[in-house]
Structure 1
Amino acid sequence: MAQYDVIVIGAGPGGYVAAIRCAQLGLKTACVEGRETLGGTCLNVGCIPSKALLHASHQLHEAEHNFAKMGLKGAAPKVDWKQMLAYKDDVIGQNTKGIEFLFKKNKVDWLKGWGSIPEAGKVKVGDEVHEAKNIIIATGSVPASVPGAEVEVDEKIVVTSTGALELGKIPKKMVVIGAGVIGLEMGSVYSRLGTEVEVIEFLDAITPGMDAEVQKTFQKMLTKQGLKFTMGAAVSKVETKGGKATVTYKLRKDESEHSTEADVVLCATGRAPYTDGLGLKALGVQLTKRGQIATDGHWQTAVKGIYAIGDAIEGPMLAHKAEDEGMACAEVIAGKAGHVNYDVIPGVIYTHPEVASVGKTEQQLKEEGRAYKVGKFSFMGNGRAKAVFAGDGFVKLIVDKETDRVLGCHIIGPSAGDLIHEICVAMEFGASAEDVALTCHAHPTFSEAVREAALACGDGAIHA
């Protein structure tokens, strides 16, 4: 029976980061993972492979629409789907092997297999039981089922994000159920590859929870790119016959029933925490109403010595949130002051243009009754953006009306996912819009749009 200071169950972004940090802090650490490769959903069937396909399909879009404008003329490239999938798989391999290298470098033992917790202080993997002073549950999440609908997923015709990353061929038509991050990213991929994409969303706005102005602008842009949206529609069932699927839905506004046919249906209605097989109920670990593991302010469950992080607990299901919790939880176990600032966790959608946000939205501040100011700047006023055909979109900075302190930022435009982090750092340090406005930004860069939005919170932007 092996003995450890910490055993982490799950080697996704939260789990592998927690394991590495524990080892760096001098704790004897092991990580349990049943997949053939490390990295969890994110590296294997989520964040990384989807970004590879987004990048490849965007290059195709550029070749078809913008190369000729720049004097780059020639036959339009043809899509070799098998090669594109091979490129995606190679990207996955590089990343997962990288985590394996980091485990060896930091002396983290990989316990291969699926783990359970027969009792506090013990983790069972296969037929072996290992002792641990502390256990971190980082088992992540799985695709959620479509609420209130009869849907049977076969990962060929009716797929989750996992199946959408490895279709046998590019479909002529795809129906995407859910207008959240996953649905819009994968919908964008296939739309660029020539697929007719229809998105069916229960709510009246896409990307639930995001800034309302961004939602409207984003939907218009995606519609212009060829995606079709059916909003306010509740899917009741998905039936497959003859290699095709029929999606039946009801419009909320008039209760009328409709149906649409597709070669592939992507179910993208969110994710659900995955805790099956751990034995939590017998241990006395408490769950929330949504099936997430309940933890205190230090990520500890109701059972002493058992912690939980990432998608398995409350909060946004984001890889970087899990990573932050993994590091903080490791530091708490090591006797340090682990901390996660949940008010400064950015969210990004990697379509083109990208969408990124952090902090409060206008709607949230109105509900709180807090006085605020908005500084907004369009990328049409940014020289670099216009030079690369990316002038659509804007930066929207929200600050406290009295103190000028930055409360939130919402960006739709080129490199939004990178630009947002300037504001994340500003918010961590309690900066004001004036602090951002007085900071010199290199020209010509997309980042100048952030500075201009900060200037717009004061006396006004220069290039507006």
Structure 2
Amino acid sequence: MADFDLIVIGSGPGGYVAAIRAAQLGLKTACVESRETLGGTCLNVGCIPSKAMLHASEYFDAAANGSMAAMGVNVKPELDLEVMHGQRRDAVKSLTGGIEFLFKKNKVSWIKGRAAFTSANSIEVAGQSYTADNFIIATGSSVTPLPGVTVDNDKAIIVDSTGALELPKVPNHMVVIGGGVIGLELGSVWRRLGAKVTVVEYLDQILPGMDGDVRKEANKIFKKQGLVFKLSTKVTGVEVKGKVALLTVEPAAGGASETIEADCVLVSIGRRPNTDGLALDKAGLSVNARGQIEIDHEFRTAAPGIWAVGDVVPGPMLAHKAEDEGIACAENIAGLTGIINHAVIPSVVYTWPEIAGVGLTEEAAKAKGEVKVGKFPMLANSRAKTNHEPDGFVKVIADAATDRVLGVWCIASVAGTMIAQAAQAMEFGATSEDIAYTCHAHPTHSEALKEAAMAVQGKPIHM
């Protein structure tokens, strides 16, 4: 008889949620985690602490750049970086402790250490063997290294996203290698606090994978905020001399190189699945060319009884995707029908303003057939206007024949919250007309979504 019905390897958003759901469904469940705290990258050094710094830095920036003064609130801010770091650490401690409480409440056993398979139904953790009828691999992802560039977070000169959260002082000049979500969020934090920030991106535009209009508009907004972009540019080397880093960059298409001096370099070129050290071969498993574990629609791997969710499987590396997969996977193991619609997974960039999208980009939608598009500027939204938040827009993409919504993209101060309505509408197969004729409270930012939906039919009211 096995020690457990289910052992989950990893306690990130996919893992801890799967463990709790499985326990709720009556399975004897354990979760393996090597960190001193639960929650994985997201809660410890990712989503949560970065949002704590983004939120705090927004306050500082609003006071420092005069936007509060424009509303009659005169403040001369002084930065206490250690206190700002302290409130970040407090948020992390509270939330990771909350998961530990939920494990105890739901009788989930925490096995501390790193797991390695010894067979298809057994693992070894810290010298002890454990067996289970089922395993869920939810080990998440880690920072993709840049060849030839050595990250040393302790020196705070060349750092990854973890090190960028712990900088002991505001850099004079930070260079962010990579114009994706993480680089733009953390670059925004330190720009608000006083650093000059230069973003070096190999592609010709920031935010790869997002809608083209969103990428262009975001670039304009960030430039206005003070971020400097070097697009279509590759980094060929980084050398540390004393307390500064010298970056050698050149055009992606080839050409003359130049040197950029910075006192902090953030390497943020993506993430890769955490599968090393699991001894997958002993369980009869291997990874694909991208280092991911292939699964079927129900999250089963090629090895019977072994399942996988989150960043180690194909698809976007997003905490909420991992959570939904964890719940669905646990329900499948318990004999229920757990499903997730991978076509309707929202993505959010927590800059100012926020950027969010769900479904197809206009480019991808047009590649599939004829579409209708409606856009509405936040400048014409009454709540955004009164809040002095004029930047951005909402864009609705619908099928030209059926009017079914294929994608929604927005830039707004609360875009991350607004996108939930769009995702839910798409989950139920809504048309743009359905959204247009749904009553929205006034005055709210969400009215911009209603107006964009009305614009699909060519009949927005306030534009």
Shorter-chain TM-score tier: over 0.9
Aligned match of 2:331: 331
TM-score where L is the length of structure 1: 0.98
What letter matches 2:182 in structure 1?
I
Query: How far does residue 281 in structure 1 lie from its aligned partner after superposition?
Result: 2.1
> SS at the partner of 1:408?
strand
Aligned match of 2:74: 73
Residue 443 (str. 1) matches residue 442 (str. 2): yes
Structure 1 residues 44-88: Cα deviation after superposition (integer angstroms, max 9, x where no partner): 0000000000000001111122211111124x1111011110110
Residue 132 (str. 1) matches residue 132 (str. 2): yes
Q: Provide the rounded CA distance (Å) in 2 between the counterparts of 1:343 and 1:204.
A: 26
> SS at the partner of 1:266?
strand
Q: Provide the rounded CA distance (Å) in 1 between the counterparts of 2:278 and 2:462.
A: 57
What letter matches 1:152 in structure 2?
T
Aligned match of 2:149: 151
Query: How far does residue 286 in structure 1 lie from its aligned partner after superposition?
Result: 2.3
What letter matches 2:168 in structure 1?
G
Aligned match of 2:418: 419
CA distance 1:198–1:393, change in 2 (3 Å)? same
Residue 359 (str. 1) matches residue 359 (str. 2): yes
Q: Provide the rounded CA distance (Å) in 2 between the counterparts of 1:291 and 1:397.
A: 35
Listed as ranges, the matches of 1:152-171 within 5 Å are 152-155=150-153, 156-171=156-171
Query: How far does residue 253 in structure 1 lie from its aligned partner after superposition?
Result: 4.0
TM-score where L is the length of structure 2: 0.98
- Conserved? CA contact 1:286–1:301, under 8 Å: no
- Number of residues paired by the alignment? 460
Q: Provide the rounded CA distance (Å) in 2 between the counterparts of 1:428 and 1:2.
A: 39
Aligned match of 2:404: 405
- Conserved? CA contact 2:173–2:195, under 8 Å: yes
Q: Provide the rounded CA distance (Å) in 2 between the counterparts of 1:116 and 1:324.
A: 25
Aligned match of 1:213: 213
Aligned match of 1:455: 454
Query: How far does residue 424 in structure 1 lie from its aligned partner after superposition?
Result: 0.4
Query: How far does residue 252 in structure 1 lie from its aligned partner after superposition?
Result: 2.3
Query: How far does residue 2 in structure 1 lie from its aligned partner after superposition?
Result: 7.2
Aligned match of 1:112: 112
Aligned match of 2:196: 196
Q: Provide the rounded CA distance (Å) in 1 between the counterparts of 2:427 and 2:297.
A: 19
What letter matches 1:450 in structure 2?
L
Aligned match of 1:4: 4
What letter matches 1:29 in structure 2?
T
Aligned match of 1:312: 312
Listed as ranges, the matches of 1:255-270 within 5 Å are 255-270=255-270
Identity, % of aligned positions: 55
- Conserved? CA contact 1:174–1:196, under 8 Å: yes
Aligned match of 1:93: 93
Q: Provide the rounded CA distance (Å) in 1 between the counterparts of 2:276 and 2:232.
A: 33
Q: Provide the rounded CA distance (Å) in 2 between the counterparts of 1:258 and 1:330.
A: 52
Aligned match of 1:247: 247
Structure 1 residues 334-353: Cα deviation after superposition (integer angstroms, max 9, x where no partner): 11111110000000000001
Query: How far does residue 282 in structure 1 lie from its aligned partner after superposition?
Result: 2.9
Query: How far does residue 366 in structure 1 lie from its aligned partner after superposition?
Result: 2.4
Alignment RMSD, CA only?
1.1
Residue 372 (str. 1) matches residue 365 (str. 2): no
> SS at the partner of 1:402?
coil
Structure 1 residues 383-403: Cα deviation after superposition (integer angstroms, max 9, x where no partner): 110111111110000001111
Q: Provide the rounded CA distance (Å) in 1 between the counterparts of 2:387 and 2:116.
A: 52
> SS at the partner of 2:372?
strand
Q: Provide the rounded CA distance (Å) in 2 between the counterparts of 1:12 and 1:19.
A: 10
> SS at the partner of 2:43?
helix
Structure 1 residues 129-171: Cα deviation after superposition (integer angstroms, max 9, x where no partner): 111000000000000012xx41011112111000000012111
> SS at the partner of 2:136?
strand
Q: Which runs of 5+ in 1 are unaligned?
A: none
Aligned match of 1:384: 383
Residue 430 (str. 1) matches residue 426 (str. 2): no
What letter matches 2:437 in structure 1?
L
Q: Provide the rounded CA distance (Å) in 2 between the counterparts of 1:96 and 1:379.
A: 36
> SS at the partner of 2:260?
strand
Aligned match of 2:349: 349
> SS at the partner of 1:294?
coil
Q: Provide the rounded CA distance (Å) in 2 between the counterparts of 1:299 and 1:388.
A: 44
Aligned match of 1:28: 28
Q: Provide the rounded CA distance (Å) in 1 between the counterparts of 2:253 and 2:29.
A: 55
Query: How far does residue 254 in structure 1 lie from its aligned partner after superposition?
Result: 4.5
Query: How far does residue 367 in structure 1 lie from its aligned partner after superposition?
Result: 2.2
- Conserved? CA contact 2:121–2:283, under 8 Å: no
Q: Provide the rounded CA distance (Å) in 1 between the counterparts of 2:254 and 2:220.
A: 24
What letter matches 1:407 in structure 2?
L
Aligned match of 1:16: 16
Q: Pick which of 217-226 and 293-302 moved more.
A: 293-302
Aligned match of 1:231: 231
Query: How far does residue 283 in structure 1 lie from its aligned partner after superposition?
Result: 2.3
Query: How far does residue 459 in structure 1 lie from its aligned partner after superposition?
Result: 4.0
Listed as ranges, the matches of 1:47-58 within 5 Å are 47-58=47-58
Structure 1 residues 422-446: Cα deviation after superposition (integer angstroms, max 9, x where no partner): 1101000001111111111100000
**4+ residue runs over 6 A deviation:** none
Q: Provide the rounded CA distance (Å) in 1 between the counterparts of 2:317 and 2:456.
A: 32
Q: Provide the rounded CA distance (Å) in 2 between the counterparts of 1:414 and 1:438.
A: 24
